[in-house]
């Protein structure tokens, strides 16, 4: 039986491990993911100690869990890992193993409860976080949540990323605008399909949505929510993406956005 500090893993948790294995993880991957999910955030040393898995095995397992979208790396000293909730993680794995749908349907319902926190592994929420997202669906989920919760958004879009924004976030942006969320977008002008152009016209018709077009191309894109959170691509592609609440980096992002906004042309 595994032990998380002084909190033992019950028979119920043994069933969770079994389901994770049936969903495609190895036993070591399942134990590692479940350990991080219970802790919410942890460094390798803590994960190794509480899961009884050697550190070198943890390091070997992490890239696979990151690629599956189950775990994200938090840039810190020491490096931390953060797990997505069990209900989200099992949904991802379940979609990859549709042939087992009938056998696993009843077991999946047992995984919807929020992982139990371990008080010995709590991290101060006031600390700056740097979280890297490698998986596209996870990035879209994060951005949708941020748009839904924010009262103000500044968006800087490279290339034809405005098509990506309208295609993936039109519904949640429309709802946000109807709630009074103010959104400013600076983008390179690009061609749009008739459907995208129609949706774009609907967004522009809302007084809370402002957009300008830039003369020059951007090398990266960023989104700032309520001056408290920034999401930025850290390569010339949409992934991987860095999310942070660090005030200094957010200020740099704000300065960059405002410079481009002031130089842009109103639509």
Domain extent for 251:
130-266
Q: Over 60: is that where the pLDDT of 168 sits?
A: yes
CA distance 195 to 185: 19
Structure confidence at residue 107 as a pLDDT band (50, 70, 90): low
- Do 259 and 149 belong together in one domain? yes
Of 92, 121, 150, which residue is a domain's last?
121
Q: Name the β-bridge partners of 94.
A: none
- Do 142 and 108 belong together in one domain? no
- Do 163 and 97 belong together in one domain? no
Per-residue pLDDT of 56-81, as tens digits, reads 999 999 999 999 999 999 988 888 99
Region 34-39: what's the mean pLDDT? 92
- Do 134 and 261 belong together in one domain? yes
Do you find a cis peptide bond into 161, omega within 30 degrees of 0?
no
Higher-pLDDT residue of 64, 7:
64
Region 237-249: what's the mean pLDDT? 88
The answer to whether 173 touches 185, Cβ cutoff 8 Å, is no
- Do 95 and 199 belong together in one domain? no
Structure confidence at residue 122 as a pLDDT band (50, 70, 90): very low
Per-residue pLDDT of 193-207, as tens digits, reads 999 999 999 999 999
Structure confidence at residue 3 as a pLDDT band (50, 70, 90): very low
- Do 113 and 139 belong together in one domain? no
* 3-class secondary-structure state, position 6: coil
Do you find a cis peptide bond into 39, omega within 30 degrees of 0?
no
Helices (H), 179-246: 194-204
Region 256-266: what's the mean pLDDT? 92
Q: In the prediction, which pLDDT does 101 show?
A: 59
CA distance 77 to 71: 18
- Do 113 and 144 belong together in one domain? no
| CATH assignment of the domain containing 138 | 3.30.870.10
Considering the chain, what is the average pLDDT of its residues? Answer: 85
Nearest one of 142, 96, 89, 138 to 111, comparing CA atoms: 89
Q: Over 70: is that where the pLDDT of 9 sits?
A: no
* 3-class secondary-structure state, position 124: coil
Do you find a cis peptide bond into 211, omega within 30 degrees of 0?
no
- Do 106 and 153 belong together in one domain? no
- Do 137 and 258 belong together in one domain? yes
Where are any strands of DSSP class E within 34-163?
A: 41-43, 71-74, 80-83, 130-133, 152-157
Q: How do 182-188 and 152-157 pair as beta strands?
A: parallel
Question: What's the pTM value of the predicted model, to 2 decimals?
Answer: 0.58
Ranges 123-137, 189-203, 206-220, 230-244: which has the least confidence:
123-137
- Do 28 and 98 belong together in one domain? yes
């Amino acid at each position: 039986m595994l032990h998380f500090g002084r909190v033992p893993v019950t028979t119920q948790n043994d069933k969770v491990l079994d389901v994770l294995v049936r969903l495609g993880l190895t036993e070591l991957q399942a134990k590692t993911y479940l350990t991080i999910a219970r802790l919410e955030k942890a460094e390798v040393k803590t994960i190794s100690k509480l899961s009884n898995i050697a550190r070198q095995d943890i390091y070997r397992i992490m890239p696979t869990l990151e690629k599956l979208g189950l775990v994200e790396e938090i840039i810190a000293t020491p490096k931390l890992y953060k797990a997505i909730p069990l209900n989200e993680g099992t949904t991802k794995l379940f979609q990859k193993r549709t042939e087992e749908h009938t056998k696993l349907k009843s077991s999946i319902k047992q995984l919807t409860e929020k992982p139990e926190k371990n008080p010995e592994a709590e991290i101060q929420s006031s600390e700056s976080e740097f979280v890297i997202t490698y998986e596209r669906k996870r990035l879209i989920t994060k951005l949708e949540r941020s748009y839904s919760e924010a009262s103000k958004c500044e968006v800087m879009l490279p290339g034809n990323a405005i098509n990506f924004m309208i295609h993936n976030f039109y519904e949640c942006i429309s709802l946000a605008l109807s709630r009074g969320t103010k959104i400013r977008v600076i983008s390179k002008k690009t061609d749009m399909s008739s459907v995208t152009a129609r949706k774009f016209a609907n967004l522009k018709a809302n007084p809370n949505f402002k957009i300008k077009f830039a003369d020059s191309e951007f090398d990266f894109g960023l989104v700032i929510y309520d001056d408290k959170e920034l999401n930025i691509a850290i390569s010339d592609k949409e992934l991987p993406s860095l999310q942070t609440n660090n005030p200094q980096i957010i200020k740099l992002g704000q300065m960059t956005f405002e410079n481009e906004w002031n130089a842009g042309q109103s639509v």
